[in-house]
């Protein structure tokens, strides 16, 4: 039973991130082909981050309140599919702004709902989150590589049809996800605000947002930056794949790493490597070897950082607050952080150029390192969360 459940969850993550692997590296290039400026692209791409500030919290509250996470995943997947079909008719900044805003409200909510459902299942099956999340990374790689060569061969418009098919598949797979049994937790009597206002929680959320701000620049403009420096779409897809292959490696190793090192240590090392990574991308865009080396650091700057963050969030937000906790983490880190990085990155790219933009992005993980280093205090043992509140 557990293996069947894990395979269903893994399959859903694979297809969800298959969509992300097609969308993130190439949607900016599609918008560029529609003659939008870097600043316009920054605004349009950031709609997905902006919606992550608000939408997941609504769906997360609904999921916790009704106890029916799977039902809301089906609905958001269906509305996301409907929203994407409108992209075929949307031309011009304002039409595309409206369609992408509607689409993002639903697609940004599917993942935190799936995360909370997965973590609730894992709480009763002794499974590892990173082993399931790894399949999402595999989906990202396959899509990024296939799409790079497909676009070189068939043109950028082929991206739209590819994404539509993936959205349809995701909607079908949402019907295979069962609802978990939510186990009562000793902190259930605390209100969500009592949890959020803890200094530890605030430090973690701000630190995560600073890390994702730098990645907002990467996700929105890395492909455009490389394309402007003469790299083919196929090569761009392979560079994205290098990062995510290394991410898969770290997800496989995370149970062993977490058994050996504290979650805070993992977060701090990941932030330190992010400073190095963004500096390398900015300083050495013409060196393929250094770009490959920088991409291998995605294992730390996203892989280990995200896996450790989710574990810490699960410590703070559990029981009846689990879906809301994942939603708040997504809203602050990926919503606010991603929006700042995406919008500021667009203007920086337009007025300062790509190399300066990526070197400036390294400042954000540096600030995150200070925030988490000084502000986050975790209990010695993973399960010992008594005394965090009060």
pLDDT digit string (tens) for 269-311? 999 999 999 999 999 999 999 999 999 999 999 999 998 998 8
Examine residue 242 and state whether it is found in any structural domain, yes or no: yes
Whether 387 maps to a domain, the answer reads: no
DSSP state letter for 335: I
Is 277 part of a structural domain of the chain? yes
Question: Structural domain tally of the chain?
Answer: 1
d(CA 223, CA 245): 18
* Within a domain: 263: yes
* DSSP 8-class letter at 175: G
Containing structural domain, residue 65:
2-375
80 belongs to a structural domain = yes
Q: CATH number of the domain that 288 lies in?
A: 1.20.1250.20
Other C-beta atoms closer than 10 Å to the C-beta of 178 total 13
Residue 388 maps to a domain: no
Task: Report the range out of 69-83, 204-218, 248-262 with the highest average pLDDT.
Answer: 204-218
For residue 291, being part of any structural domain is answered with yes
Is 201 a domain residue? yes
What does pTM read for this prediction?
0.79
Predicted confidence (pLDDT) at residue 388 exceeds the cutoff of 50? no
The tens digit of pLDDT for each residue in 196-235 reads: 778 888 999 999 999 999 999 999 999 999 999 999 999 9
Tokens of 324: 């809301």
Q: What is the pLDDT of residues 14-45, one digit of tens each?
A: 999 999 999 989 999 999 999 999 999 999 98
DSSP letter (8 states) at residue 182: P
Say what the pLDDT of residue 115 is.
77
What is the distance between the alpha carbons of residues 85 and 79, in angstroms, rounded to a whole number?
10
CB-based burial label for 160 (10 Å; 0-12, 13-18, 19+):
middle
Burial (Cβ within 10 Å: 0-12, 13-18, ≥19) of residue 327: buried
């Amino acid at each position: 039973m557990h293996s069947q459940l894990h395979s269903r969850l893994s399959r859903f993550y694979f297809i969800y991130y298959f969509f992300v692997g097609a969308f993130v590296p190439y949607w900016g290039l599609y918008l560029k082909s529609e003659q939008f400026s870097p600043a316009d692209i920054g605004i349009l791409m950031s709609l997905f981050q902006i919606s992550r500030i608000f939408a997941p919290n609504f769906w997360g509250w609904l999921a916790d309140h009704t106890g029916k996470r799977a039902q809301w995943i089906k609905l958001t997947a269906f509305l996301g599919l409907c929203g994407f079909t409108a992209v075929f008719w949307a031309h011009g900044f304002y039409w595309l702004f409206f369609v992408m805003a509607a689409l993002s409200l639903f697609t940004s909510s599917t993942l935190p709902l799936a995360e909370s459902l997965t973590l609730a299942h894992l709480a009763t099956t002794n499974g590892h989150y990173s082993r399931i999340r790894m399949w999402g990374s595999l989906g990202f790689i396959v899509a990024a590589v296939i799409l790079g060569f497909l676009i070189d061969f068939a043109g950028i418009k082929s991206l739209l049809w590819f994404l539509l098919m993936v959205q349809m598949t995701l909607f079908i797979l949402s019907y295979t996800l069962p609802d978990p049994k939510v186990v009562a937790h000793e902190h259930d009597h605390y209100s969500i605000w009592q949890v959020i206002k803890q200094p530890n929680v605030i430090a973690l959320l701000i630190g995560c947002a600073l890390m994702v701000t730098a990645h907002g620049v990467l996700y929105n403009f890395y492909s455009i930056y490389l394309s402007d420096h003469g790299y083919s779409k196929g090569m761009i897809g392979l560079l994205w794949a290098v990062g995510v292959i290394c991410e898969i490696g770290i997800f496989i190793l995370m149970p062993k790493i977490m058994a050996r090192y504290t979650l805070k240590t993992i977060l701090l090392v990941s932030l330190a490597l992010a400073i190095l990574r963004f500096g390398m991308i900015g300083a050495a865009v013409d060196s393929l070897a250094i770009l490959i080396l920088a991409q291998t650091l995605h294992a730390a700057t996203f892989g280990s950082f995200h896996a450790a963050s989710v574990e810490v969030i699960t410590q703070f937000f559990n029981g009846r607050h689990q879906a809301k906790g994942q939603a708040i983490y997504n809203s602050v880190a990926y919503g606010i952080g991603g929006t700042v990085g995406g919008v500021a990155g667009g203007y920086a790219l337009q007025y300062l150029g790509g190399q300066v933009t990526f070197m400036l992005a390294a400042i954000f993980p540096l600030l995150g390192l200070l925030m988490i280093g000084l502000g986050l205090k975790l209990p010695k043992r993973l399960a010992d969360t008594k005394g965090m509140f009060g």
